[in-house]
Amino acid sequence: MNPGAEALRVEDLHKSFGKLEVLRGIDLALSEHEVVCLIGASGSGKSTLLRCVNLLEPIDAGRIVLHGEEIGATSVDVNRVRRGIGIVFQSFNLFPHMSVLHNITLGPRKALGLSKAEAETRADELLARFGLSDKREEFPDRLSGGQQQRVAIVRALAMQPQLLLLDEVTSALDPELVAEVLEVMRELAAEGMTMLVATHEMSFARDVAHRVCFLDGGVILEQGTPAQIFESPREPRTQQFLQRIVEAGRL
Amino acid sequence: MGTTRPGPGRGVLVAVVSTLVFFGVLALLVTRSPGWDRFKAYFFDWQLYRESFPEIAEAFLINVKIFLIAEAIILVTALGLAVLRSLPGPVFLPVRALAIVYTDLFRGVPTILVILMLGVGMPALDLEGVPNSQVFWAIVSLVLVYTAYVSEVYRAGIESVHPSQDAAARSLGLSSFQSLRFVVIPQAVRRVIPPLLNDFIGLQKDTALVSVLGVVEVLNQASIVEAATFNGTPYLVAATLFVLITIPLARFTDLLVARDRRRRQAGGVAA
pLDDT recorded at residue B257: 87
Contacts of B180 in chain A (CB under 8 A): none
d(CA A226, CA A212): 6
Put simply, the answer to whether B169 touches A106 (Cβ < 8 Å) is: yes
| Sequence ranges of the domains in chain B | 53-160+193-227
Scanning B245-264 for CB atoms below 8 A from A yields 263-264
Q: From the CA of A136, how many Å to the nearest CA of chain B?
A: 12
- Residue-wise pLDDT tens for chain A (251 aa)? 445 789 999 999 999 999 999 999 999 999 999 999 999 998 899 999 999 999 999 999 999 999 989 998 878 899 999 999 999 999 999 999 999 999 999 999 999 999 999 999 999 999 999 999 999 999 999 999 999 999 999 999 999 999 999 999 999 898 888 999 999 999 999 999 999 999 999 989 999 999 999 999 999 999 999 999 999 999 999 999 999 988 887 66
What was the pLDDT predicted at B61? 96
Inter-chain CB proximity A159 and B266 less than 8 Å: no
Instruction: Among A87, A89, A110, select the one facing B182 at the smallest CB separation.
Output: A110
pLDDT at A94: 97
Q: Could you tell me which residues of chain A have a Cβ less than 8 Å from any Cβ in chain B? A: 51, 54, 56, 78-80, 82-83, 85-87, 89, 91, 93-97, 106-107, 110-112, 137-139, 141-142, 155-156, 159
Asked if B172 and A159 come within 8 Å (Cβ–Cβ), the reply is yes
Say which of A89, A91, A107 has its CB closest to residue B174. Answer: A107
B165 Cα to chain A: minimum distance (Å): 6
In the CATH hierarchy, which top-level class contains the domain B53-160+193-227?
A: mainly alpha
Q: Where are the domains of chain A?
A: 6-94+163-247
**What does pLDDT average to in each consecutive run of 10 residues of chain B (271 residues)?**
66 93 94 90 92 95 96 96 89 93 95 94 84 91 97 95 96 94 96 92 94 93 94 95 92 89 65 40
Interface of B with A in 157-196 (CB under 8 A): 164-165, 167-175, 178, 182-183, 186-187, 190
What does the pLDDT read at residue A2?
46
pLDDT of residue B266: 58
What is the model's pLDDT at position B269? 43
pLDDT of residue B2: 54
Q: How many Å lie between the alpha carbon of B161 and the closest alpha carbon of chain A? A: 11
- Rounded to the nearest angstrom, the minimum Cα separation between A95 and chain B is 7
Structural fold of domain A6-94+163-247: Rossmann fold (3.40.50)
Q: What is the pLDDT of residue B147?
A: 97
Confidence at residue A46, expressed as pLDDT on a 0 to 100 scale:
94
CA dist., res. A98 & res. B182, Å (int)? 10
